[in-house]
Chains A and B, each alone.
Chain A
Amino acid sequence: MSTARAGIEKDPYLAAFARLRKESPAWKGSWTRPLREAAITRFAEIGFPTLQEEEWRKTSVAPILRVPFAAQPAYSANGFTAKALERYTFEPWECTHLVFINGHFAPGLSRLRPLPEGVIVEPLAQALEKRRDEIEPHLARHADDRHHAFAALNTAFMQDGVYVRIADGASIEEPLHLLFISTSRGEPVVSYPRNLIVAGKGSRLSIVESYVGPHHDLYFTDALTEIVAGEDAAVDHYRLQRESEKAFHVAVLQADLGRYARLGSWNISLGGGLVRTDVNALFGAEGGEVRLDGLYITGGSQHVDNHTLIDHASPGCTSHELYKGVLDDRSRGVFDGRIIVRKDAQKTDAHQTNKNLLVSEDALVDSTPRLQILADDVKCTHGATIGQIDEDAMFYLRTRAISEAAARNLLIQAFVSEVLHGMRIEPIRAGLECLLFTRLRKGHGAGVEA
């Protein structure tokens, strides 16, 4: 890809920004304006990544750039009803659901429940001006948009999402569910969901982000979430990517952890045509604990790229990472797991595992563990496997009266159960298990969600 061409690809985005700069009422006079300006300038400088860039070696974003996406300027339900949401809300799961359609908050479709004291949950667009004092120190201060074009675009164009703040010592037991729905209705739409979660000292919270869209819809989601976990805070974060099989989905999760803070992250990718997620955790102080679990189940011609980065910038922190992939048909998976142990991060304990199951001859996966260890008193392990369904296990199950198809499905389920069983929200765990089971039973192999 030549620089000249890359320049052309940026143009529609730069033009869209120029238009909004003139016309958007929400931008006018907002303190976020300089943030947006700085971000679009960075984007103009770096442009879209090419395959020559180390971080994008395995994923070409060219298909995204060929489609003339446009953002929807204001909220519209686009024909969505509460009934249509049921397949995405893990019924009868009782929790707060905040629904967004094409990037805009959908008050009529959201279900808000009473929140405990010290907990603020608000659509970000509303909170931005109202709570400037508490948001400004964090928004776009944690995620790195200097090297990531899509992160820069998200900051430049951010529409809505959620702002969560848990006061010191406060907690919310019920999970929060953010449901981002995209639907293009013939006009390829792009949305820029943006979330900021600030968990105070000793607080507890679990949050679920779902990204969904109707079948065959062509759209693009460029999402970014920043989590700031204060001292001794415990945050569980689930991202469930169930986009349309034609959709593009690029997302960044950045979590910065304070002293003894704990983060659990489950990154589940089931849908999408071209998917790239970056899950990054930074230990900003000693004693933190991170658990990064991931699962990507692909079929058809899906391409799913998972990048993770755990930055052990402080001593005495622990990270456990487990990513598993099941790849069917002609799909392609990428796992790139980076762990940096900085010079002063003594007593680091870091473990990374990536296991892949190829269930078709044409599926492909790239697994790259990248460990940079600059401290000497550390415990770091990593392992990656790529395998096929175990023929001995298949034979064993079949001699136990289990049919070939059922045995194959059982082994796939068993393979993914290690990740699913770790999930701490029962309706999500059971819902995903059920989803997967139905899909396997329909004979879609591990393919795109049906």
Chain B
Amino acid sequence: MLQIRNLHARAGDKEILRGIDLDLKAGEVHAIMGPNGSGKSTLANVLAGRESVEVTKGQVLYLGRDLLAMPPEERAWEGLFLAFQYPVEIPGVSTLYLLKAGLNAIRKHRGLPEVDAIEFLALIKEKMKLVDIDQSFLSRAVNEGFSGGEKKRNEVLQMAVLDPKLAILDETDSGLDIDALRVVANGVNGLRSKERSMLVITHYQRLLNYVVPDRVHVLYNGRIVRSGDKDLALALEKKGYAWIEQEARGMAAGAPPSA
């Protein structure tokens, strides 16, 4: 599904990713954990194609193709989805319109006919159950005036409708109380399948109680410094990131500390 090789990237003149290697197979859920500033969100943005982040070295293969050569929309057409940490408010564009336009763009790319208004409404109603969203949501402008929880649920709804092959969830748990977290996690779990891979980026372990990952990677200072199974997340929760930081400093003897 996804192979990342020696990925380096920077934003402005600050080097943020310093050599990431990762393999994600179809149907797998991997978690990326790490302290603030370790490069988690940058990785998500590079994979989704944000232009303000510059890839300086390395390669990313997605379904055997050079992901980095594709513009963001083509990545979406090919089945990649990013759930934003901070979903953007877009006044004047309804959620319904956005979803329909997106879904039809993907269908067009795959040589499928556009869905009509009635089919689309039926589809979206079914998906809305997954995240417990009220229908009034759809006519509201995208994320405008949404609460933090509504924004995150909207991200999961969009994911459900666009039906990606690879979903990247960037701190989808941040800013949620426990009830909202449960709703979002249930939504995500409902979308797990043998064909769909997920990269779950999170600062805290608590989301991983609900969305149990196959692998956990710890990102520190732009590199994956440790990988393991779900127990690694539990260990991190108990010992904190200081443990990893110490270990990483030891490993990288002489390397400059995190900026």
Known A399-B49, A399-B82, A414-B93; judge A392-B88 contact (CB<8 A). yes
Stretch at the interface among B11-19, B60-68, B72-80, B238-246: B72-80
B50 within 8 A of A: yes
Q: Which of B53-103 contact A (CB under 8 A)?
A: 71-73, 75-77, 81-82, 84, 87-88, 90-93, 98-99, 101-103
CB < 8 Å: which of B49, B71, B102, B141 contacts A400? B102
Whether A414 contacts B92 in the complex (CB less than 8 A), given A395-B50, A401-B73, A404-B71, comes out as yes
CB of B76 within 8 A of CB of A399, answer: yes
A sample of 15 cross-chain residue pairs with beta-carbon separation below 8 angstroms, ordered by A number, consists of A393-B90, A396-B84, A397-B90, A399-B48, A400-B98, A400-B101, A401-B76, A401-B162, A402-B73, A402-B98, A402-B101, A403-B105, A404-B73, A406-B105, A414-B91
Q: How far is the CB of A441 from chain B (nearest CB, A)?
A: 13
Min Cβ gap A39→B in Å is 44
Residues of B whose CB lies within 8 Å of any CB of A are: 48-52, 71-73, 75-77, 81-82, 84, 87-88, 90-93, 98-99, 101-103, 105-106, 109, 141, 158, 162
Does A398 belong to the interface (CB within 8 Å)?
yes
Contacts of A396 in B (CB 8 A): 84, 87-88, 90
A-B Cβ contacts below 8 A, count: 75
The reply to whether the CB of A353 lies closer than 8 angstroms to some CB of chain B is no
- Determine whether the beta carbon of B162 is less than 8 Å from that of A415: no
Whether the pair A398, B101 counts as a contact (CB closer than 8 A) is: no
Q: Quick check: is A411 within 8 A (CB to CB) of the other chain?
A: yes
- Distance in Å from the Cβ of A417 to the closest Cβ of chain B? 5
SS class of chain A's interface: helix, strand, loop or mixed?
Answer: helix
A406's partner among B48, B72, B101, B141 (CB-CB below 8 A) is B101
**Chain A: minimal CB distance from B144 (Å):** 10
For B91, list chain A residues within 8 Å (CB): 414, 418
Most buried by B among A401, A413, A415: A401
Interface 1/0s, chain A 65-88, versus B by CB < 8 A? 000000000000000000000000
Also in contact, A400 and B158, with CB within 8 A (given A395-B50, A395-B72): yes
CB contacts (< 8 Å) of B162 on chain A: these are 400-401
Given A392-B88, A410-B93; A398-B98 close (CB under 8 Å): no
Q: A393-B88, A414-B93, A418-B92 are in contact. Are A398 and B71 (CB under 8 A)?
A: yes
A393 to B89, CA, bound (A): 7
Counting from the closest, the 7 A-B pairs by CB-CB distance are A414-B92, A401-B76, A398-B72, A396-B88, A400-B102, A401-B102, A401-B105
User: Considering the chains assembled together, what is the distance between the CA atoms of A398 and B98 in angstroms?
Assistant: 11
Cβ 8 A contact of B92, one of A400, A406, A417: A417
Q: Give the residues in chain B near A406, CB-CB below 8 Å.
A: 101, 105
Q: How far, in whole Å, are A59 and B116 apart by their CA atoms in the complex?
A: 48
| CB proximity of A116 to chain B, nearest CB, Å | 36
> Who on chain A is nearest to B76 by CB?
A401
How far is B102's CA from A403's CA once the two chains are assembled, in angstroms? 9
Question: B93 contacts which chain A residues (CB < 8 A)?
Answer: 397, 410-411, 414
Q: Is the CB of B103 within 8 A of A401?
A: yes
User: What CA separation (Å) do A236 and B220 show in the bound complex?
Assistant: 63
Whether the Cβ atoms of A410 and B48 lie closer than 8 Å is no
- Out of B48, B51, B105, which one reaches A402, CB within 8 Å? B105
> A406-B101, A410-B93 are known contacts. Are A401 and B88 too (CB-CB below 8 A)?
no
> In the docked arrangement, what's the CA distance between A393 and B158, Å?
15
Q: Which residue of B lies closest to A391 (CB)?
A: B52
Q: How far is the CA of A395 from the CA of B86 in the complex (A)?
A: 12
Which residues of chain A come closer than 8 Å to B99, judged between CB atoms?
Answer: 400
